[in-house]
């Protein structure tokens, strides 16, 4: 098993990409904290995964929630080896000036501030263990931004830059930091990305992806497994596009 003996936290893990990552990590031998603002959803996923998983109801933009998430993981499994910052938030596709200030603040709290809060809690744990991996689900939106998602695009661009800066700063501690840039996928946020989820909109969007389909949770989970695998121990600062060629 590729993650035998490892302990991971996965945020936004009640559904979509996060659930796929949590399921894949457990299948590969890891102990996982399934974390989500939807506490009941997180509980159901953790229960389905059995004794290798616990759950927390966590708002990743809230410092006390993040601290409790890490504390509960350490108490249950003895430490943290892998932190997957997967929780995300977006505004609906549309003119940038129609996004409210509250929406803007929430996007940056979940997509950017959460990275700061998680690092504050998990980096000391990883330093104590002599190694660690931090993986953030960013987006192709941070690589090739398009109109209609301006503020979301900006938050993911920040996540990518933060990943690279953290990678350099934490390298002396043997802590690797990487990101995954998915193209839009079959998740609850798809309708917001497209403005409206219709067959016509899907077809239009898929036509821009050379491999001809949206991403699936398994695509992102496999990338997250590859980056967390100890055999990838010379990879840091990598921002891996999992996009069917979208960014080419």
**Residues involved in catalysis:** 152
Q: Are strands 132-137 and 31-36 parallel, antiparallel or unpaired?
A: unpaired
Q: Is 177 in a helix, a strand, or coil?
A: strand
Q: Which whole-number Å values give the CA distances from 35 to 38, 67, 72, 133, 171, in the listed order? A: 8, 12, 11, 17, 26
Residue with tokens 């003895």: 78
Per the DSSP assignment, residues forming a β-bridge with 241 are: 181
Residue with tokens 């990487």: 178
| Cα(180)–Cα(223) distance, integer angstroms | 7
| Cα(22)–Cα(201) distance, integer angstroms | 30
Q: Give, for 17, the enclosing helix (H) or strand (E).
A: helix 16-27
Q: Where are the alpha helices (DSSP H) in 100-198?
A: 101-108, 114-129, 150-170, 190-194
Q: Where are the alpha helices (DSSP H) in 35-149?
A: 39-49, 63-77, 101-108, 114-129
Two tokens at 235? 């990879």
Choose among 176, 46, 163: nearest CA to 111.
Answer: 163
> The dihedral of CA 203, 208, 211, 217: what is its sign?
negative
């Amino acid at each position: 098993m590729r993650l035998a003996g490892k302990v991971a936290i996965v945020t936004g893990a009640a559904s979509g990409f996060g659930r796929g990552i949590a399921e894949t990590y457990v299948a590969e031998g890891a102990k996982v904290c399934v974390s989500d603002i939807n506490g009941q959803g997180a509980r159901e996923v953790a229960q389905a995964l059995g004794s290798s998983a616990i759950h927390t109801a966590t708002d990743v933009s809230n410092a006390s929630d993040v601290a409790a998430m890490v504390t509960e993981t350490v108490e249950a499994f003895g430490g943290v080896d892998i932190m997957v910052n997967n929780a995300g938030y977006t505004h609906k596709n549309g003119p940038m000036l129609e996004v409210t200030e509250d929406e803007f603040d929430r996007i940056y709290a979940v997509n950017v501030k959460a990275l700061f809060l998680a690092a504050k809690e998990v980096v000391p744990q990883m330093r104590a263990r002599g190694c660690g991996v931090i993986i953030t689900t960013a987006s192709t939106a941070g690589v090739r931004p398009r109109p209609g998602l301006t503020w979301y695009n900006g938050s993911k661009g920040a996540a990518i830059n933060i990943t690279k800066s953290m990678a350099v700063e934490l390298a002396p501690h043997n802590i690797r930091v990487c990101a995954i840039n998915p193209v839009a996928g079959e998740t609850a946020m798809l309708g917001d990305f497209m403005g409206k989820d219709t067959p016509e909109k899907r077809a239009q969007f898929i036509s821009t992806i050379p491999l001809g389909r949206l991403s699936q949770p398994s695509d992102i989970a496999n990338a997250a497994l590859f980056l967390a695998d100890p055999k990838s121990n010379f990879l840091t600062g990598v921002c891996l596009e999992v996009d069917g060629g979208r960014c080419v």
